[in-house]
Structure 1
């Protein structure tokens, strides 16, 4: 899982699942795993039956979802799906109040109906899933009923040659999403013997013209529907597809376009979003962008586990106390839909408040003494000190970072992702937190 560090900050799979615990809770898991001499459990990710079992276990264990994944259909990788959904949630956090009821469309929901199930269960969004395959629709409906989510999820049959987005007149959706067939049929080796299983997977992976032509159909429909959907999104399998698709969106007059990078294990996918509403804000999510431009190597977020003497309440109180002490500029990030995230904020530092603590305490004491002297001389006024003026006068921050307080498997963690500025300053603040949580 070499690129787990680039997963979305709220993705629970940034921390690798505990295979040992999983084996204890689900004995069938060991059918596809081996235990080394050191006690480490290794899973066979290349075995399709094992991968199917692992996915169903994760869905049950982490989301309380019972999902039937039929043989002959693609097995969805949960970390990737979660990355995509969390990016969409980020876009909503930019534009909507957290109390807003979200309604979306999943184009090509597949037999698993994975995106609507996760969206409904984790975020309480209302979803319409579409597909062109009757067998997939039947299985998807079965998964919806099995999890009692009929009040949030509807599965519809559509025609690829008619329309992909089943939006009627005067109907409005907040977003649409799609995991399109990535490959062109011309790339398929026709000499391969196609079993029924292979044919099923082929339909989900291949299409005429590949993903570019498929997504252009969605773009064409978006041009017709315009504001009937606030934010249009789709996943992309090839980074090279982003260029022609962004050009197409520019041609049809999209008001704003954003892109995303989804990194999980050794797999990378991309996303693209667009809107025709002038008041909708979109934001890129490209956690590896600094590496790609070779300007600055983006290091993974640093993290540490807090002492077991802290619970969720005391850990949050301590973190809040430290942030206040450091005089950091704080911009809270919404994460109410993720129970694992106790606190999340973007922070910026405009003055160094974390080094030479003794020297600073002596200086603060001298300042306090001087202020008391000024008050006694009746010379004190309400104007801010010159130092405060310099700090607040549009100064460039010493560093910017995202701080997350999260709880995973009864352990409380602090994550800190450096975003901008001097990385040494960012790391020193991280070390400051680590030293104080004892």
Structure 2
């Protein structure tokens, strides 16, 4: 489902760009454009070169920016970047920032897209940091070719700190905000497996270098580092912000900020079939969450499902034993799980089910029992495979037709996600509780309800 209607209300790309006009204006765009029999002009969005040309043409057409986008670097999607800039405008309005604005872009990239947009659109002064030499070189060239050296400064970050390089020469430097589009993934495998097969294929082709997409610990650890360092530089930066690519990471970061009592707010960045999230926090005495009111109708939020579970035997009433019990149940259901965080009385996990293993459990147990009873009436030695009843695998007790159906069903289902969600296991009033939130999957929220019911029925 296209999410354009959920873009920021001031985003000019809520109305799709006129490709016919772009083709007439820019020869490079005309070369990659296609015209169908009705005269409609389009491009192949899965072609990285076509995406690169489209972005360059839009930057020139809408912002009069001449930007060189290297072939081996990320092609920035303008609607998404513009959403972020517009949200920062909203945040600054809370603090009545109408005078000169200074912003810090962490990891500015080869295009320096955020500083360029901020400078030409809002006349903000920007400093961008970068660790990669080639990206820094390309970003410097893009700033020079647009004659914006007086508004944008770039700094090479040679430290392991996120902010330190900015304040080495001037620890009195003041910023109104910082922004960051962090690497989302921990490694190549996580990058390749990041998209749910249950979701529609991405409309756009894949672009970006490992340097731009991967970092040790993934975006969760990177953003946590920003939060930790923000405590050091809270007198230098008014509003700290970052983009977040995974919803379960956003939940964890919000929990971190709540635990520290830090005022914060969040938002959604929607474009095409892509959703990202924005997280902002401040150490100033402002109720950010109350003052920053959404100026557009938000999508319906997922309401977590919460249930209380019975206690285990008295010697096992702690979060570690509850977690071990939950692991057993999830393994029984063949649900893939990953521990996101663990605190004193709380564990957060991401879960993915590739097969529906929880429906009709009573029927399956009844069939198995009947099959076992039937086998016990036969001789212990099976004339065909020479296995005794005790050695038989339960799957061998199914009828041939049901076994074949099961195998074929496995082949079909292993390619899709039935349920994906986030689970919080916690102790409240000496009782174990679970809170689960549905993210996506072909079984919908009903599938999540069924999993919870299975856990409840089998907890003891």
Q: TM-score, normalised by structure 1?
A: 0.62
Distance 2:187 2:159 in 1: 16
Q: 1:22 to 1:281 in 2, by over 3 A?
A: same
Superposition deviation, residue 202 in structure 1: 1.0
Q: 1:262 maps to what in 2?
A: 269
Say yes or no: does 1:96 pair with 2:99.
no
Counterpart CA distance in 1 for 2:48 and 2:75 is: 8
Q: How big is the shift at 1:285?
A: 4.4
CA distances 1:280-336 after superposition (whole Å, capped 9, x unpaired): 7452649564422479xxxxxxxxxxxxxxxxxxxxxxxxxxxxxxxxxxxxxxxxx
Alignment partner of 1:252 is 2:251: no
Pair 1:224–1:97, CA change in 2 (3 A): closer
Q: SS at 1:207's partner residue?
A: coil
1:55 is displaced (CA, Å) by 0.5
Is the Cα contact below 8 Å between 1:258 and 1:284 reproduced in 2?
no
C-alpha distance in 2, partners of 1:213/1:154? 27
Partner of 2:301: 292
Provide the rounded CA distance (Å) in 2 between the counterparts of 1:42 and 1:262.
24
Contact kept, 8 Å, 2:185 with 2:191, in 1: the verdict is no
SS at match of 1:184: coil
How many angstroms does 1:279 deviate by? 3.7
Aligned match of 1:213 in 221, 227, 237? 221
Structure 1: tracts of 5 or more residues without a match:
191-197, 296-438
Report what 2:179 is aligned to.
177
Superposed, 1:404-415 pairs within 5 Å as none
Contact 2:241 2:281 in 1 (8 A): yes
Q: Show structure 1 runs of 4+ deviating over 6 A.
A: none
Q: Deviations over 1:340-365 (max 9, x none)?
A: xxxxxxxxxxxxxxxxxxxxxxxxxx
Give distance in 1, aligned partners of 2:46 and 2:96. Answer: 41
Larger Rg over CA atoms:
2
- SS of alignment partner, residue 45 of structure 2: coil
Mapping for residues 340-379 of structure 1, pairs under 5 Å: none
- Does the Cα contact within 8 Å between 2:74 and 2:207 map onto a contact in 1? no
Matched, 1:145 2:153: no
Structure 1, residues 360-390: CA drift from partner, whole Å, max 9, x if none?
A: xxxxxxxxxxxxxxxxxxxxxxxxxxxxxxx
For 1:110 and 1:223, how far apart are their aligned partners in 2?
Answer: 25
Once the two structures are superposed, what CA deviation does each residue of 1:216-243 show, in whole Å capped at 9, x if it has no partner?
1111110111121000000000111111
Matched, 1:81 2:89: no
d(CA) in 1 for partners of 2:7, 2:17: 14
Q: How many residues align?
A: 286
TM-score, structure 2 normalization = 0.59
Q: Is the 8 A contact 2:269 2:278 kept in 1?
A: yes
- Once residues 202 and 163 of structure 1 are traced to their aligned partners in structure 2, the CA distance between those partners, rounded to angstroms, is 19
Coordinate RMSD, CA, aligned: 2.3
The question of whether the paired residues in 2 share the 8 Å contact of 1:232 and 1:275 is answered with: yes
Kindly report which structure 2 residues correspond to 1:183-202, keeping only aligned pairs within 5 A, or say none: 183-185=185-187, 187-188=189-190, 201-202=209-210
How many angstroms does 1:30 deviate by?
A: 2.9
